[in-house]
Amino acid sequence: MDAPLRILIVGGMACGPKAAARARRCDPRARITIIEQGTTVSEGSCGLPYFIGGQVANENALLIRTPRYFKDIMDVDVLTGTRAVSINRSAHTVDVLDLKTNATSALPYDRLVLATGATPAVPGALRGRDLKGVFTLTKLADAKAIVSEIGHASPKRAVVVGAGLIGLEAAEALRQRGLEVTVVEALDRVLPSLLDPEMAAYAEKELATNGVALWLGQRIVAILGDSDGHARKVATEKSEMEADLVVLALGARPNVQLARDAGLLIGAAGGISVNERMQTSDPCIYAGGDCVENVHRVTGAKILAPMGSTANKHGRVIGTNATGGNDTFPGVLGTAVVKVFDLNVARVGLSEGEARAAGHRTAISLAPGFDRASYYPGAQMITVKLVADAFSGRVLGGQIAGKGEVARRADVLVSAISLGASVDDVADLDLAYSPPFNGPMDVLHHAANVIRNKMSGRAKAVSPVEVNRRLCSGEEFILLDVRSQAEWDEAHIDASQCQLLPLNKLREKVASLPRDAKIVTMCKTSVRAYLAQRLLEGEGFTNVCFMDGSMTAWPYAVVCNAQEHS
């Protein structure tokens, strides 16, 4: 009988343990060892904000698996408090350091797995990064330190630097702890790498509603402390704000130094380069999780995609292949979902900006609608932004925001984009329907049909961003609101170009509209606005379009009962 296969895994958080578990199932005889420099393995790191916010009351709930579990159930040795120092590829060994005793040793391998993760992207030149009261949030120890700080130091003002997924989740958690919270973001919107501006506006409104201040378009330059070495202010390029607690959520950098020192190929995006079998440039060494590059399934570009879900998929492929199998990982779509207080936000594939940057001529729709039958108790409005290629109709991406169910719609789009579906395919999907779960036509159906109408030439639309640009520039056109008087009184856009003409009065008063005017119609969700566009064209008007998504998708200020609200 051949000697058992020796599989050595560096990293014990997500990808590494998954690779170990899969390898054990594939090869009952393999000798599998996990090296982890921390004291725990298999942490549920995506749950850390909810531990801070109190939804997860027990820290042990975030310890998904323990070293004892791996040994007793999986027959996998776990060496915690052990750091991989270097790889000797010719000898097939890894030099490791015992962090408790400082003893070094060399561990042999037949197959090596690098699951070294990523490190918070904190600029080395950031003054004050080491002050007391300044935290990152990637490990359970970070979350426990923040909770301890809140309990012992009683901070009143928190600043979260970075408005990505972790930043917004941390902001919500700190508000739930009773702190005043400000989010600082260098770019002009929240979730800037995920959402287009009009969709990001939904999250910005929700944050403001819940008392989170936003300092957008401001880059942090320093954290200022007191004489005791505790953070007291955050300075940006433009201003300063008081802070007793600071969370740096500026993204993550792949941990690639071990691989780089071993001569393994590092890709242009900064992660370890792997093939579809998750092999590095050395076929005996695999890598997965946050430390590697992924293929984007729409563009084919190599990107970084630090997600626990992706790391687990990597681990399964690695565990299969390290034991002689032949599994592949096709890539990612940048899928993400986040809860921002009572708002749910999801995205998949390419944003409109990304699609254009990739060379696509885009066709988009902004389709508001209810997440279930409108008459069913609890129905909530959501808005879908669908992005497609204007020539082929191929679906490229989608963004969804609202207080209703968004994750299921995102998952439908994941399947559609993965299979190369067009807007025709999405419009024809036989989605489940019953009033507690959906309307007879899902919002995705409406979003796809809007693009189909645009591609056929029937529907002509402009985005809320473009309408706002025209209003601000003083362009002469008519923004024709075809809602009812009651809807207008409840909320309307305060601009000289905007006028009310309810749809049921449009035919009889069409002569009051100048024939040579540029007209943009609008309503609540753009259903009536599209009908108004077609009606006016039937009356001989030649320069008419509607505002995509209309009032529901309008991210700017409106007048509500004579009071202006943003």
- CA distances to 14, 32, 217, 322 from 7, rounded to whole Å, are 17, 5, 47, 8
**3: which DSSP letter?**
P
SS3 of 500-536: ECCHHHHHHHHHHCCCCCCEEEECCCCHHHHHHHHHH
User: By the 8 A CB rule, do 289 and 11 touch?
Assistant: yes
The span from the CA of 539 to the CA of 547, in Å, is 20
The span from the CA of 413 to the CA of 430, in Å, is 14
The catalytic site residues sit at: 46
The span from the CA of 291 to the CA of 293, in Å, is 7
**Which amino acid type is present at position 564?**
E
The span from the CA of 71 to the CA of 8, in Å, is 15
Pairing of strands 157-161, 245-248: parallel
The span from the CA of 388 to the CA of 352, in Å, is 9
Tokens of 482: 């075809």
- Main-chain dihedrals φ then ψ at residue 314, nearest 5 degrees: -55, -45
Exposure b/e, 270-301, CB count within 10 A at least 16 = b? ebbbbeebbbbbbeebbbbbbbbbbbbbbbee
Q: Which residues contact 321 (CB under 8 A, 6 or more apart)?
A: 277, 278, 279, 286, 327
- Which residues, in sequence order, are bridge partners of residue 514? none
Among candidate residues 310, 282, 283, the one with its CA nearest the CA of residue 296: 310
Tokens of 538: 């039937």
Q: Which residues contact 257 (CB under 8 A, 6 or more apart)?
A: none
